[in-house]
A and B are shown apart, each in its own frame.
Chain A
Amino acid sequence: MVTTTTTTNTSATTYDDSAAKLFLYPAILFLIIGMSFGVFIAFNAFIFPDYFAGEYIHFGRVRPVHVGTVTLLWLLSVDIGLMLYFVPRLCGVSLWGQKIALWAGGLWWFSLILGVNSFPWGTNFGWEYAELPTWISWIPIKVFFTIAWLLMVLVFFMTIARRKFENMYVSLWYSMGTLIWTTFTVFVGSFVINWVPEGISRVNVSWFYVHNLVGLIYTPMGLATAYYFLPKLANTPIYSHRLSMIGFWSIAFIYAWIGTHHMIHGPISQWMQTLSIVFSIWLFIPVWTVVYNLFATLQSDWAKYLQSAPIRFLMMGNIFYLITCVQGPLMALRNVNEITSKTDWVIGHSHISLYGTFTFFAISGLYYAIPSIVKKPLWSNVLADWHFALNLWGSILFLFSLWVGGFLQGLMWANWANGDSFAEFHANITRLSFVDTVALMRPWWIMRGIGGIIILLGNILFVVNLFNTIILKAPDKVQEPVAEAVRI
């Protein structure tokens, strides 16, 4: 609808993507490494519990490696890499400080790879999603990571400040938002948490950090990616810029408030729980604007959904985003929370958001960005189709087994509250003890494990496909679409 005016210089600008490559290529590998850890614990902790036993390999020490690898080494890194790809293109200028970005990338991988893989040796910091150690021997991991991030912030803001195109596309808004939010959030979750009073004050800071990590880092980065690549992939302009602005500002307004909804019914002040519930419900606004906007963009030509695997990834990610964000606010309601909280439903929810939604967005972005960066077509479209099919069915199996199993376990726990007196409640729990409710989860965990294997297989195809795209074929005629700013 809205087109930018300065399109004349575009073809003159070539983009140096070496920094983007530094972030993207390793991240693609860490996708399957992180998922392999996930599959390993799905079997070694749940289906054949403690089969490989020992100090360095039990569930509690491997789980953070899985989570750290997929959240930081894969998703955050790939999102940064994609931003390095599209931010210069949306600004019409080459990346400012290419060298700084390369140094930051080196520091980034050094601190994260070392930090995440040190968990089995007992370096876990002890706060959810903030497990990175402050120190490994004399190496200040967190400080290094923070410096790398700050350098990236500098690079992005300088690039945006020097931009050629005056109007800023929504992806740039989201990118700028996340640069500010993440800086603050990382600082709070990694450092400030040690300076506030012990106890619930720290818990409160921790949940603020945890939810902002998802809501103010992965969400804006993922949406910036989706908003950039859908018009590119489908070769059609975005449906409504105004709608995308509503989405952006409501995220900016709402997300920071809702961390406390992780503590509903817990030992935290009731007014804060209520406040977080109210804001959680408001999340429907940013989500639905995004979902509708993306759907409406493709509305003119749904045939593209069938023709292109990356578009399928993006639109399926959009559907998963809708499901995530219907679940999220509902799970914050006190009565729903009573059943779903502390069950596998929560694990399902975190996977649909970080995997089903934002990983799908990132994969879709990679399918566009990698051929464009290496200036060759994708090695195999058939493989991409298989990749999507395996991912979709694997995810559905994975997610539904966790939701259904978790919900049933929640109902079993709630059953302890049937009756009028403590004697009756106590009789309930002697009939169905806690450990029995765990044992009854096994069939669901087996389904989850199988789903995980299917997804992993699909992603191995993906990595092979991209590897061959990058390595095998000689340069081809494929060029970057010329009219960069016109289309979006």
Chain B
Amino acid sequence: MVLLSVLINTGVLAQSTNHQIAGTIKDTKGQPLVGVNIQLKGTTTGTTSDANGKFLLNVPAIPCILTFSYVGYLRQEQTVGSGMLNVILADDPKNLNDVVVVGYGTQKRKDVTGSIVTVDPQRLDSSLPNNNIAQAMEGAVPGLTVTQSSGGAEGSASIMIRGQRSISASNSPLIILDGIPYNGNLTDITPSDIGSIEVLKDASAAAIYGSRGSNGVIIVTTKKGKSGAPLISFNESYGIDKLSDIPPVLSPQAFYAYKMVRNPGAITPSEQAIYNAGTWTDWEKLATQTGARDQSTISVSGGGDNVKYFTSLNYVDAKGVAVNDNFKRLSSTTTLDINITKWLTFGSSTRLTFDDRSGLPASLTGDYSAFTFNPLTTPYQPNSKTLTVYPWPEDTYYANPLAPTLVDNTNYQYQIYSTNYLEVKLPVKGLSYRINTGVTHSDQNDNSYYGSGTKTGFEDQGEINETADVVNSYTIENLLNYNRTFGKSSIFFTGLYSYEDDITTGTALVATGFPNDVLTIYQANVALHSSNAAAYSKATLLSQMARLNYSYDSRYLVTLTARRDGSSDFGPDNKYGTFPSVALAWNITNEKFMQGINGIDNLKLRLSYGSNGNQAIPPYSTFAQLGQSSYVNGTVTAPGYIPTTLANPLLHWETTNTLNAGIDFGILKDRIQGSVDLYSAQTHDLLLSRTISSVNGISSIYQNIGKTANKGIDIGINTVNVKNQNFSWTSNITFTLNRNKIVDLYGTGKSDTANNWFIGHPINVNFGYKYLGVWQTTDNLASSPQPNTQAGYAKVADLNHDGQIDGPDRTILGSALQPSFTYGFANTFRYKSLSLYAFIQGVQGITELNTTLSDNVNTDVEKNTYVKNYWTPTNPTNDYYANARLLASPIYQPNIYNVGIYQNASYMRVKDLLLSYDFASETIKKLKMRKLTVFLEARDLFTITPFKGFDPELSSASSIPILTKEFLVGVNVGL
């Protein structure tokens, strides 16, 4: 039998009449595909398509079968005869032969045992010119929530995977950039430089990162070059930002009336004069503007057989919605992959960034916020464009909200982020050694001079404020990899030994008392008073890890991992923690009994159990620190110190054990693909900043106590709803449900009211008195649990019916950070060359404090306040209590318990609408272009929410809790 086949084979080869097959390969949009792998089935004969999608292949005989494969597209086989061949490859939303980055290496997706999600490449495509990676991932990864925390020119966001696990340690996932842990800001990574993002969600996937992996891991890899002619891309976008849904404040006339009711004696002559003359000021208009963002990127990638490169240059020029909020960035990324010899590979990825944040924005928050500034004040000197130092002459506490625009501020930051690796293929087959190194250096200088035109400068006779911060990080990783296949079994072993060092140093100078403003920051040596400060912080991490992947016939997969981490943050006897994990997976579709079933294209079951650690307490938390509190002896400083922290030498790793069961599926020829994960995570030895009795002198201490549990379900589904010649519609749906609760605190089963931690409830809850409405004249005021109640007072629930409003009447009022569920729904519609991408995101079941429902104007009504439906005898509403009036006796105080009003803050938001048009390749070929796309985009277009306060998504700690809508237009060119 063997002899016969050999004869037949040689017979076939002996014929050897060369036939040439020529053809073009395009995608469903008609764009040529470069670098497609074309092979004569069953042989090694093959070629790749060129820059125009064309190929030529010599085959021994026709007809023959050619296979076409390309990352991101469904593999095709075609029987080919003579004549020109036109092949169209269809998109593959989830290619199982894709290689997935799993941490310290890659695996084929079908071999993965953990819960890993790849962010849809379209989200990273340069036609979605996102502000930062967090925006690119929003709603695209089930279980991942992104909270925008600032609306400024630069913008920032925080990410959480599968809910909050830790109470006081960080809940941010670990970010790995090009193999090295990345401690910088997400906003510093240009999305168009990114080749792939993988999110590792369960313990097994994250286990290789042991410590810091308990919040999940996000692996970001920069684009790499590909062999072939250089590909040039140019992207340009321009967008405008507008503040929207600003809660209204009282009009100047209404403000005057409000003040006359609340405290008529507090009206000052200057306010009265402005009111009489009608010359009031719209501060919001003066301090805000339409923001703008201009972003350009140019990149080149290419390579030969042994060298591949990718380099890009990116420029951002942004103006925020606050006047004088400017941000400029120039950055470059270069990646090189070089095969020095057959057994030695070198790779490098270097990013250089320069940020210019000069200029202080007008005040939009705090006491000087332009939104709530007293409208009966004067912004400019009479008949001039010079700003007033004191817009309200009778109250010199209030500075001009526009004063920051006068500050001479320069703020520059230089950053280098460079990772380099050397990989050696060792003489033993399948064994390789790799050394990864990473270096980060960041240098930021922020210098301000406050001159006599500002309140600070006027009162201090000029003020210099300088800070210099330097951050250095070094990482060295030694990896040993062993990769072998023995028959049906294959083994993949990884061993790691790594060292990481993070050092932060900073200096600050404050100097006041100058003869004039001429020299600005260059006159610190003649200051009447100056003080310097220096800061230093260093953290070190030393780790060992071993991982073994075993797969039998690509059907049964096992992964075993163990990691041991030592951190300098912990006490001398507790530096190390060990984190093991095990994962199993079963590729059901590869089983013989599944071969006959046509409807199911992919079915995989996964089960994992493992532990991860979290150590994000600040360095030096095990020391009992003294803080500076100095005195004077005459005119001489008498340095003094007082105890400020309590030491806990027993601090150790916070650990999370997670059980994850998942199923990956693909049905109906992969028209519906998805995964469902169920998980249960138990965290113990939580690192808590625990509030203790103030009788101890210091009210808080870090301890390892308590247990929390997170249980939930992540669902992610991709569907191809409609697909025909000219029109297609695909959807991506994500749904996450996470239930977080505190299981135990101090071992006694009791809750801790002082910290708002209650057994059986989420970590983060709102706790306080419950607001029921307003006491009406028709109510039985004498029965009120609040003494001396009058009509118009806030009604507070007396939950224990004891006739008093006190401690036991406080209750849990929902949570702002633990939703019932979150969801994302993305749709892509394509009609010929036009495509529309729409993304909706929603959060359901959160309750937030409505901060606009409080007065916060001070006794003398110094600030404006938000429009409220106040109770009056003729307007007996339950919305809000009466405007506090001044009566001689008894004193009228509608809200002595300071009860806050909490409201449902669930929301659904149309986060993204993107309309883009791809010019057909024939049209643009004349311009020598490979690709030309123009697009229009609208972000955060509208929101549906019952919440009546500030934007429900922006955290209340955000600098500007008002949403900005963004409208962009742009073009992507490929050459």
A and B interact: no
Interface, chain A (partner B; CB < 8 A)? none
Interface, chain B (partner A; CB < 8 A)? none
